[in-house]
Amino acid sequence: MDALDKLKLLSDASQYDLACACGTRGGPDHRVRGKDGGWLYPVSLPSGGYSIMLKTLISNVCGNDCGYCPFRAARDVPRCTISSDEMAKLFMEYQRKERLIGIFLSSGVVGSPDGTMDLLNGTAEILRRKYAYRGYIHLKVIPGASDAAIDQAVSLANAVSVNIEVPGEKHFSALSQKKDYLKDIIHPMQRIAELTGKGMKHSRVRQTTQFIVGAADENDAEIIKYTYGLYKKLNLNRVYFSSYQRGLGNETIPGERRGIIDSSDGFVREHRLYQVDFLFRQYGFRADDITFDENGRLFTDRDPKLVWVESHPEKFPVDVNKADENTLLRVPGIGPTTARRILKMRKSGSIISSSGNLPLKGKRLALAEKYLKY
């Protein structure tokens, strides 16, 4: 295989790692094929709109046994590895053709965690020093990597990630017998948090992670508890959720045995988890604000914000002319932008009616006015 053939194979393999913006339905916020076959992924820009980045593995060779992974050691699939020099050169060629905003590099475990980190960090180092590349680099930190390898990744990248995979050691042990949850997953995340904390040299480097939803016997309550803890204790910038796809693992996967994988319910579950994540990051919700059914699952028939509202009728209606921002954010139909607009409008006078000067339209207006007073 030449370098481009390897890139096609490895870029396809990277679709199972969602610790960045991903999607396949089309449109500006979803991935597309590049001219040479690699997958290009969207990155939202602070100024609005999207640009794209190349996302790929540097190798799909792997010595680990993660039951949910289609590239675990026991699987008979085509394998290849691109050297750091090849990958850096390929990316720069892509960057000139496609005007990419950056690169997301991950990998299977080739030989050892630190040996694999040498490939990933080596690529980033070549891009930074040989090609004087100043754009976006996201590096996956391999579970079990040494502190020295993690330190180097953080010094070279704009973002780094370690996939937490499942909430807790108990569930993790059902998916892998080779990796140690606390040593190989949690410790690297803690190390990154130390290096990127407020006031530290690398405080601008982002840390993200990903849960594989449905591969283990975890429920939504466990995932959400861990998600909230990651934001509060380790200052993660983003948590992603990937619904396990049936057939990628094997019969040893607890979620596979339950027969719920790759169903519409599985993807609705993923969607609800993202809604809760957004409530944490943008709406000021806490873990104990989220309501579950008797099995610790989110309600699939309505979003978690509406479930909270229905559980707290004493909080409504909200006075649109007196409520603070946090209270306005609890109103269905009102998001962060609308809440800030309401506060700004109140400086110029009272908001007298929903049909007059309330900055909402259509369905969102009809929903919000059920819970407001003037």
Bigger pLDDT: 121 vs 248: 121
DSSP annotation of 70: T
pLDDT at residue 169 in the model: 93
Q: Judge whether residue 281 has pLDDT over 80.
A: yes
Structure-block tokens of residue 84: 């750091």
pLDDT at residue 26 in the model: 43
Nearest-angstrom CA–CA distance, 246 and 255: 9
pLDDT at residue 195 in the model: 97
Average pLDDT over the chain, rounded to an integer:
85
pLDDT band at 203 (very low <50, low <70, confident <90, very high): very high
pTM: 0.85
Name, in order, each residue with C-beta under 8 angstroms of 300's C-beta and a sequence gap of 6 or more: 265, 268, 269, 272
Q: Residues of the chain with pLDDT > 90: what percent?
A: 58
User: What burial letters (b/e) apply to 158-173, b meaning 16+ CB within 10 Å?
Assistant: ebbbbbbbbbeeebbe
Q: Judge whether residue 352 has pLDDT over 90.
A: no
Closest to 273 measured CA to CA, from 328, 218, 206, 193: 218
Q: At 102, is the secondary structure helix, strand, or coil?
A: strand
Q: What is the mean pLDDT of residues 290-311?
A: 95
Domains of the chain: 3-302 (3.20.20.70), 312-373 (1.10.150.320)
